[in-house]
Structure 1
Amino acid sequence: MKFSESWLRSFVATECSGDELSHLLTMAGLEVEEDEAVAPPFTQVVVGHVLEVSKHPNADRLNVCRVDIGNGTVQQIVCGAPNVAVGMKVPCALPGAVLPGNFVIKVAKVRGIESSGMLCSAKELGIDEDASGLLPLAADAVAGDDLRRLLDLDDRMLTLKLTPNRADCLSLTGIAREVAALTGARAVFPEIAPVAVTSEVTRPVALEAPAACPRYCGRVISGVDARAASPEWMVRRLQRSGIRSISALVDITNYVMLELGQPLHAFDNARLAGTVRARMARPGEKLLLLNEQTLELAADVLVIADDEKPLAMAGIMGGEESGITLETRELFLESAFFAPAAIAGRARRYGFASDASHRFERGVDFELARRALERASELVIAICGGQAGPVSEAVAELPQRTPVRLRSARVARVLGVDFTPDAIAGLLTRLALDCQREGDDFVVTPPSYRFDIEIEEDLIEEIARLHGYDNIPSLPPRARLSMLPQSEDARALSRLRQTLADRGFQEVINFAFVEEAREADFAANANPVRLANPIASQLAVMRSTLLGGLVGTLQANLRRRQNRVRIFETGRCFLRSEQTSTRTGTQVEGFEQPWRLGLLAFGGATPEQWGSPARAVDFFDLKGDLEALLLPAVARFEKATHPALHPGRCARVLLDGEAIGFIGELHPQWVQQYELPQAPVVCELELAALTRARLPQFAEVSKQPPAIRDLALVVDHELPLQALLDGLHAHRPALVQDIRLFDIYTGKGVAAGKKSLAFRIVMQDTQKTLQDAEVDAAMQQLIDYAHQAFSAQLRA
């Protein structure tokens, strides 16, 4: 909302300086985004009256002028402006004047003719960009008057950055109400009285969409002079509000909109047929707007129409075919209330915006339409002449203002300031709110122009604004704190992150919404959870796996020549699931959002160095990282398949018999499709399983020396190592403390289809040193079990 400070002060005569006023509005929530001068500083520029104009004897494009500068003083000034003429009033910079840019005017000779001053254009004074000729002044301007005072050039232009809830401040009246409430100054607004009805010409109106347009007023004004000039004071106020002057009738509607906040529209009454109706657009209807854009109107667009055609997009923009022109002699003036929901978003849908739509979609005073129509009628008759006909009005059910209860105790608790009920009453009175006092409580009925007051907190905000945010003390928060319990059977996510960082991984964060193709590739998910309003067309579904994001991060790093990448991510995935309705007990579609951890390793197993040979990271490197992450728990790994992974290099991860994720190399198909130089090793695990910790259990530490034996067993090549290890652990004698694989061998000395597995057996007793007989018996027990369960043979 842009406006001139002098216009505002004509409504409310506050003693605040310009800077104080800007600060006051900003601290009240009406942020002053721009505060600029109407014109830059200049001195000694007065009104000049051109008395004579003659050609310069030594220059074709120059004129010698005799100019009255007041008090009977006439100066000779050489001027090159093409529009200089006898009798016109123009700005005249006297000798000694300092113009914008520190340009000093002196008495000088121009082509041999003395010139005592300079006649100025708007650009030379910094008022406008027009440099085509002299700035013409009003014919009644008095020669010698100071130009800054005449044109009010010490005025300032303020631009408020309003939040959408403060639609009541999209007018000078609304801003003046705020200033009056903030400063205690008295606001004085123009008196609006019904104009005298001097014509019987009328046009009926009807509401065919009463929910979208509950009130519509119109009046025919006959015999207007559309060519009449807009008053200079009106043009000046419009220009300083960022609106270009077009014609007197258009300027009047814009002026009333800025003054009162009610958008208006003027139709050429001769172009209308029958009743003017507020209705929804019909299928296939098109409308040529004033901006020369032809639209095919959707069914949810509210239009103003007559008996034959649509005339305007209601509350947004008028149509070209019914608009006023300089030939208009009879106009139909419209003033209406349109429901915000019926206007919101319609202009943006068609790629444009208007001052009217900006106001209506935020909420316009629904009691203002009739008063604004009378104010506009008064200005039309005063400037363009004419005879006003009776007002045609149709009213349906207008919005209801629901009373809001405000509790004094609640104000004190929210703001931290002990307001007395009398203080609260005084602040509400300054806001001109209709309130009834009930003890220490207040029942406030919001006025028709305040759509933002709906709940108690809205009124508390008003109290805070008037009291002043600067006056609310900053108190340290006070609360009773208690130590939260920390369970020993849970691990913090920060510990997992730190463990991975210690092992050379870096954390990444990817979008939870991904490309649909990646969901199909890495999760074989043909029915992902779709977004209703994606931020980008390609990011249209929610992820069900972290792999797509990790591979995307790998690609980004490879494009930047990072050849060794070790990354991890924790985040939610989104899956469809059936859930039981608590209301009906039936199965309904729902969603699961498991929290997962994803790992990816690519490139060298170690950073490039001289101390060890270079080799690519493999399955077992990431498996070791995973086992370190799970300590002290021990996971099992079983061969499995996964749509994203190599069919022969993929394993399911089990913890305490529960599948918690998978690990493996990326499938060769995706390596090729995503243009990766080698296959990364990836892992994805359920975070809930990783954050569970086993409670520590006491075990006595033996002081006796251990007995260590090696056991080499020949088994079938297809036998999984894990099955043999599980069996040996389950059937080990009590004195066997550890069984660890240290060698796998196939080749000479081992039959085809067989493999040799060598285990290191550690035996120890807490009470005594083990004897050879006890050790041999334990070893034989393990050998016998392996032979019976797996047909294992001792390697010769």
Structure 2
Amino acid sequence: MRVPVSWLREYVDLPADVTPRGLAAKLISVGLEVETVDEVGAELAGPIVVGRVAAIEELTGFKKPIRYCQVDVGTANGSGERQNIICGAVNFAVGDLVVVSLPGAVLAGGFAIGSRQTYGRLSEGMICSATELGLWEDHAGIVVLPEGFADPGTDAFDLLGLRDDVLDIAVTPDRGYALSMRGVARDAAVLYGAAFTDPAEVKPPATEGEGYPAAIADLDACDRFVLRDISGFDTDAPTPLWMKRRLALAGMRSVSLAVDVTNYVMWETGQPLHAFDRAKLSGGIVVRRARAGERLETLDHVDRALDPDDILITDDSGPISMAGTMGGLNSEIDDASTDLVVEAAHFSESGTARMSRRHNLHSEASRRFERGVDRRLPPYASARAVELLLLLGGGRMGGLTDVDPEVLAPPPIVVAEDHAAKVAGVDYPAGTSSTWLRAIGCTVEELPGVLSVVPPPWRTDISDPNDLAEEVIRFEGYENIPAIPPRAPAGRGLTRTQRLRRAVGRGLAGAGYSEVLSFPFVGERDLDGLHLPEDDPRRASLALANPMSDGEPLLRTTLLPGLLKTLARNAGRGSTSVSLFEAGLVYLPRDGAPARAPAPAVDRAPGADELTALAAAIPDQPYRVGAVLAGDREPAGWWGGGRQANWADAVEAAHEVARAAGVALRVAQAQAVPWHPGRCAALSVPGPDGEVVVGHAGELHPRVVKAYGLPERSVAMEVGLDLIEAAIAPADAPFISTYPVATQDVALVVEESVPAGAVEAALRSGAGELLEAVRLFDVYTGAQVGEGRKSLAYTLRLRAGDRTLTAEEATAARDAAVASAGELTGARLRG
């Protein structure tokens, strides 16, 4: 909604020192979203004056008409002599009043005016068009002013409104009244305590004869319908400059006087209007719903198939207008329309909105009806339109038709006097609510402790006590509500699950991973890229009823597709070394769940059976953590060569997750899709019934790397954080020994197929209580250990809590650990 400030001042007596930006700030403070304050014409500079064409010499020999004009500009040029100006427009004659920019002026677009030699003559300025002055878009010729408009030499800035400030307001759906000068002026008047002049308070003109016959067939579609007749209208009467200028500032194009007047009154009062050509009407008008098979060609030249829910204005020939949205082409006024029927009505908000969306037909009229229009306004707005039409276009007043069925008035809203204070948390003085509610037009009856409030008819958004509280609070000032941070009750805070998820994120970020967030949607192509078998549970995914993309209609069952596509995107943009992680939900359908979730009714609460059916349709949503790596894990530099990421780094990422949870992770060789069969590890944690596999890590299969376009030897990890969290044991404060540690190194030779994790577990079981930690620090394969074998070197940290260990005790613990490893894994000490 564009609001010219000069136009607004006609309806509200704003103080002289109010600036447009100050006004905008005030309106913003009460909930009107003023997006910009446009300084229209700020680039124009004088002298721009009124001139009278005194003589015209037609120059010949050029490809287009060229005229050498002498223009009387009074004393504006400093000499009082006529100004010589070259002009190519032909829509003016000797004696016409025009707008002249003299040398030194600057026009729209920063176009500077000076004296120059052109077409063999000296041109001392320019005779201006509306486009050059920034008035409105018009390339038909220059502006010809009406006779008596002003004397030659008069400054044109104020006369034509060349400079103005326009507030551009984004009107929210709950403030439909602000889609009019009348509505914005009301709020401005309340804000400044200024006098308000209602443009809708017009004295209806006297009518002659009976009005055009009309009836309402569906009161749910329309509950007020007003027609006013005019005959003998002058179709050649032009729209006055002041009206064209205001419409242009409001963002509307001038069409003809009849159309411009209806648009002007709509902008002024908020009531949409439509003018029919009476000669094109056939029989009485009826407002009704559409019938099967009916069609209408609207003013935009589109032939529309109508829906039975559409609201129509019809006559004996059928539909002539889509009510509150757009008129029909057959009843459109044209250059021969001398007898008019002006229509103003009150149509259903929801019915207009549905029709507008159904036909993808949005107009200024539908915007207003959707948000609510004052039901009492049609006779006054139509009277205002007829008043302007008769004043500017002549003619005679005809009859009036006002179909005004009895409509049950809504009951008063009863609200506690201090309700607004309680909502805002501010102790407003007694009487504050009633003062502001009366200021916005409510009828307020003060009862003991409560107020009985009847909202004004133009505020269709006010329907309950909280709406009234909002009105009081916004005028008292949102900025006056103190900012009091909520205080967390003692003993509360983050849950264990929340703390764990944050710890995992911090741990992986600290290890060099960048977190990514992927859409939880995948397609069959993504699952095919992982080379999942047809019976893989991850292929049993839920299909979305309304997917964002036809290529991704499924909910993800694994984090890997999103991570791999993000890795490919980064690699494709030149990132040679990438480490990414993601934490989020996956969606696993339950056995026996319905294919589609039931849709409960919206007019009542769902019953117990419906809630059970809804719960059964909800998939399991475990929380997963995944990571992918490609390129160098350790960069090369002056310190030495780098190291490419390998399967062990993926396993280490899983260890990072487990460390955040305080859980020991067991690693064992495995085969799982989509990992390389020889470079894949199964990750497990202790459970009540033994080891529980929580995920896998390792190098991706080459076919998966190729399918996703990943760098070679890319690695990935995915674990279920819910399963890891379930393995967290009650926390016991560790005993910290003050005695020194004893270290023992052992190198064990085992078959190459024996996992290092199995050897480590055997060492732990054999070393007993003295073992504090064990770490693998070297792996060797080669001729010294024989083909098919490998050497694993471990450091054992031994410590007692009550004494310093002797060399004999440390050696005995080491030997016991080695013996256990030999018994359980076939390991022997390396010679």
Which residue type is aligned with residue 207 of structure 1?
Answer: A
**What per-residue deviation string (whole Å, max 9, x for no partner) do you get for residues 633-676 of structure 1?**
32123455544333444333221233332223323332121122
**Does residue 1:672 correspond to 2:706, yes or no?**
yes
2:31 aligns with 29
CA contact (8 A) 1:207 1:394 kept: no
Shift of 1:333: 2.8
Residue type of the alignment partner of 2:313: I
Aligned length: 788
Residues 278 and 669 of structure 1, relative CA distance in 2, 3 Å threshold: farther
Name the counterpart of 1:687.
721
Contact 2:635 2:641 (C-alpha < 8 Å) held by counterparts:
no
The aligned residue for residue 192 of structure 1 is 202
Q: Is the 8 A contact 1:519 1:545 kept in 2?
A: no
Moved more, 690-699 or 704-713: 704-713
1:175 aligned partner:
184
Corresponding position of 1:552: 565
TM superposition score normalised by structure 1: 0.82
- Alignment of 1:617 onto 2:617: no
2:214 is matched with 204
The residue correspondences of 1:343-742 to structure 2 (distance < 5 A) are 343-344=352-353, 347=356, 353-382=362-391, 383-391=393-401, 393=403, 395=405, 400=410, 403=413, 405-408=415-418, 410-415=419-424, 417-468=426-477, 472=480, 477=485, 482=490, 492-515=500-523, 517-519=525-527, 521-522=529-530, 525-531=538-544, 535-577=548-590, 583-584=608-609, 588-609=616-637, 616-631=644-659, 633-640=663-670, 642-657=672-687, 658-688=692-722, 692=728, 695-699=731-735, 701=737
Residue 12 of structure 1 pairs with residue 12 of structure 2: yes
Cα–Cα, structure 1 residues 507 and 193, in superposed 2: closer, same or farther, change >3 Å? Answer: same
- For residue 168 of structure 1, report the CA deviation from its aligned partner: 0.4
TM-fit CA distance, 1:248: 2.3
Deviations 1:506-546 (A, max 9, x none): 33333334445325645754453455555555454443322
Which segment drifts farther, 651-660 or 572-581?
A: 572-581
CA deviation profile, 1:760-795 (whole Å, cap 9, x unmatched): 8888776697798998899689969976x8899999
Q: Please give the root-mean-square deviation of Cα atoms over the aligned residues, in Å.
A: 4.9
State the Cα deviation string for residues 364-407 of structure 1 (Å, max 9, x = none).
22332233233334444443424423415264867847626254
Partner Cα distance (2:827, 2:54) in 1:
126
Superposed displacement of residue 553, structure 1: 2.0
Q: Is the 8 A contact 2:13 2:194 kept in 1?
A: yes
Deviation at residue 161 of structure 1 after TM alignment: 1.4
Aligned residue for 1:660, secondary structure, equals strand
Q: Deviations over 1:468-487 (max 9, x none)?
A: 456x2766658587575789
Task: Provide the residue aligned with 1:135 in structure 2.
Answer: 143
- TM-score, L = length of structure 2: 0.79
Indicate the larger mover: 501-510 or 31-40: 31-40
Inter-partner Cα distance in structure 2 for 1:213 and 1:412: 38
* Aligned partner of 1:226 among 206, 219, 235: 235
Matched residue SS, 2:372: coil
1:414–1:289 Cα change, 3 Å? same
- Output the amino acid matched with 1:2: R
- Write the letter of the residue equivalent to 2:710: L
Q: 1:241 to 1:527 in 2, by over 3 A?
A: same
Q: Is the 8 A contact 1:567 1:600 kept in 2?
A: yes
Partner of 1:318: 327
2:597 corresponding residue in structure 1: none
Q: Gapped runs of 5+ residues in structure 1?
A: none
For 1:76 and 1:736, locate their aligned partners in 2 and report how far apart those are by CA, in whole Å.
111
Name whichever of 385-394 and 124-133 sits farther off: 124-133
Runs of at least 5 residues in structure 2 that lack an aligned partner in the other structure: 595-605
Whether the aligned pair in 1 keeps the contact of 2:564 and 2:710 (CA below 8 Å) is: no
Tell me the amino acid that sits aligned with residue 395 of structure 2: G
More deviation in 164-173 or 411-420? Answer: 411-420
List aligned pairs for 1:229-268, cutoff 5 A. 229-268=238-277
Q: Distance in 2 between matches of 1:681 and 1:597?
A: 14
Change (3 A) 1:85 1:290: same
- Cα contact 2:72–2:152 (8 A) shared by 1: no
Residue 158 of structure 1 deviates from its aligned partner by 1.6
Residue 361 of structure 1: SS of its match in structure 2? Answer: helix
Distance in 1, matches of 2:262 and 2:297, equals 21
Question: Is residue 578–residue 629 contact of structure 2 (8 Å, CA) maintained in 1?
Answer: yes
Counterpart in 1 of 2:599? none
In 1, the alpha carbon distance for the partners of 2:133 and 2:817 equals: 109
Q: Say which is worse superposed, 749-758 or 727-736, in terms of deviation.
A: 749-758
Give the structure 1 partner of residue 601 of structure 2. Answer: none
